[in-house]
């Protein structure tokens, strides 16, 4: 009985100390400092588990269709993804270096992420990071799926292909 009481008291003390630490402003939310290792690894695990559980949709179109991939490249450019993630032959905006967590180089990670997971991330964004929800600004699901098709192809897209696919239709004669 005494042990249980001691555990109870200890739990209350820990809760009060944690509340004082976090609500008292001692935890730093600065993006200019790396997160403490335990926070960073907890965030990555929570993100991966959350995306995996929520991402259930299946593509309504062919992800290997050339026209779909090219439409996805245009959407990727027009929706501003390159500002943070860069693209083939396109550098990211300087401000994205100040994001923490930083935006990944997508061509290096897309092989390990399933289409349903890419779709979910683009549609819903990632809370408390710089990754916006494109569903929240009413980008249609179909357009998001074209971006998924483009991303799955990304590791093999050359700078020239990307330039040609994203060029305005009228400049094709130059």
Chain residues binding ligand HEC by CB under 6 A are 47, 51, 76, 79-81, 83-85, 96, 99, 101, 103-104, 106, 109, 113, 118, 121-122, 126, 129-132, 134, 147
| C-alpha of 41 from chain center | 16
Nearest residue to ligand HEC on Cβ basis: 81
Over the range 112-134, which residues count as b (16 or more CB within 10 Å of their CB) and which as e? Answer: ebebbbbbbbbbbbbeeebbbeb
Between 8 and 140, name the residue whose CB sits nearer to ligand HEC: 140
Between 1 and 137, name the residue whose CB sits nearer to ligand HEC: 137
Query: Shortest distance, CB of residue 117 to ligand HEC, whole angstroms?
Result: 6
Query: Shortest distance, CB of residue 43 to ligand HEC, whole angstroms?
Result: 7
Query: Shortest distance, CB of residue 84 to ligand HEC, whole angstroms?
Result: 3
Between 12 and 105, name the residue whose CB sits nearer to ligand HEC: 105
Query: Shortest distance, CB of residue 73 to ligand HEC, whole angstroms?
Result: 11
64 Cβ neighbours under 8 A, 6+ residues apart: 149, 153
């Amino acid at each position: 009985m005494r042990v249980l009481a001691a555990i109870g008291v200890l739990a209350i003390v820990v809760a009060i100390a944690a509340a004082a630490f976090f609500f008292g402003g001692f935890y730093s939310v600065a993006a200019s400092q790396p997160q403490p290792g335990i926070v960073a690894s907890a965030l990555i695990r929570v993100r991966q588990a959350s995306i995996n559980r929520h991402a259930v949709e299946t593509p309504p179109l062919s992800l290997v269709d050339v026209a779909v991939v090219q439409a996805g490249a245009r959407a990727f450019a027009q929706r501003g993804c390159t500002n943070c993630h860069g693209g083939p032959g396109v550098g990211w905006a300087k401000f994205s270096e100040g994001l923490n967590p930083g935006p990944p180089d997508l061509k290096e990670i897309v092989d390990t992420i399933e289409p349903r997971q890419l779709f979910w991330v683009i549609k819903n964004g990632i809370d408390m990071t710089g990754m916006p929800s494109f569903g929240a600004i009413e980008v249609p699901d179909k357009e998001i799926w074209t971006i998924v098709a483009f991303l799955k192809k990304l590791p093999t897209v050359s700078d020239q292909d990307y330039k040609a696919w994203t060029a305005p239709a009228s400049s094709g004669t130059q």
